[in-house]
Amino acid sequence: MRTNDVMLQTATKVVTFIILMFAVHIFFAGHYTPGGGFVGGLLTASAIVLLMLAFDIPTIKKILPINYVVLTAVGLLIAIATASASIIFDVPFFTHAYDYFDLPLFGETSLHSALLFDIGVYLVVVGVTMTIIQTIGEDE
């Protein structure tokens, strides 16, 4: 029997985007304040899980045709590459570079290579969480 989930589906269409926006905010906030790739990744994963709950997994797979294992691998590679870049500059592993730039619109902004590392972490977290949930969720 199909339950009536109009409420959930309607709410989800709005809430998902709010969660995703908040995930982006938390991700960038991690630079100086609480937040970062891990939390941002979990929030993104929770948005996708909400979509999967409201609709169903095949539909979501059609909308987001992402292979989450590959996403994890790409995230890992980005993270390792950022950390390994220090090898080229002959400074200890994981040494980060940062500086202040005058960007249009943003004004003076500090850019940090840790952000690249965090993008890797973000992708790994989304990938791993979604892989786990799909493994359990796929068979009824």
Partner 1 sequence: MEIVMSVAIGLLFMAAVYLMLSKSLIRIIIGTGLLSHGAHLLLLTMGGLGGTAPPVVADGVSVSDYADPLPQALILTAIVISFAVTSFFLVLAYRAYQELGTDNMELLRGTEDYE
Partner 2 sequence: MSNLVLFPVVIPLIFAAILMLFPKKLHMQRAVAIAGVVATLASALVLFSKVNSDGVQAVTLGSWPAPFGISMVSDMFSVLLVLSSTIVTLFVLFYSIPTIGMKREQSFYYPAVLFLMTGVNGAFTTGDIFNLFVFIEVLLMASYALIVHGGEKPQLRESIKYLLVNIISSALFVSAVAYLYSVTGTLNMADLAVKIPQIEAVGILTVIAVLFLVVFGFKAAIFPLYFWLPGSYFAPPMAILALFGALLTKVGVYAIMRTYTLFFTMNTGFTHELLAIIAILTILAGCVGALAYFDVKKIIIYNIIIAVGVILFGISQMNAAGIEGSIFYLVHDMLIKAALFLLVGILTVIFGTSDLRKMGGLIKSYPIFGWTFLVAAFGLAGIPPLSGFPGKLLIVQGGFEGTHFWGSLVILATSLLVLLSVVRIFIYAFWGEPVKIVPIDRKHYLSMFVPTAILVALTVVLGVGAELFMPFISDAGEVLLNPSLYIDAVLKE
With a CB cutoff of 8 Å and minimum separation 6, the contacts of 97 are 112, 113
Residue 102: contacted member of partner 1, partner 2, none (CB under 5 to 8 Å, by partner type): none
Q: How far is the CB of 34 from partner 1 (least distance, A)?
A: 10
Residue 90: contacted member of partner 2, partner 1, none (CB under 5 to 8 Å, by partner type): partner 2
Instruction: Please give the size of the binding site for partner 2, defined by CB under 8 A.
Output: 19
Residue 94 within binding range of partner 2, rule CB under 8 A: yes
Look-up of token digits 């989304």: 126
Residue 132: contacted member of partner 2, partner 1, none (CB under 5 to 8 Å, by partner type): partner 1
Inter-axis angle of helices 6-29 and 37-54, to 10 degrees? 170
Residue 55 within binding range of partner 1, rule CB under 8 A: no
Task: Rank residues 14 and 88 by Cβ distance to partner 2 and give the closer one.
Answer: 88
Q: Which helix (H) or strand (E) holds 20?
A: helix 6-29
Q: Which helix (H) or strand (E) holds 44?
A: helix 37-54
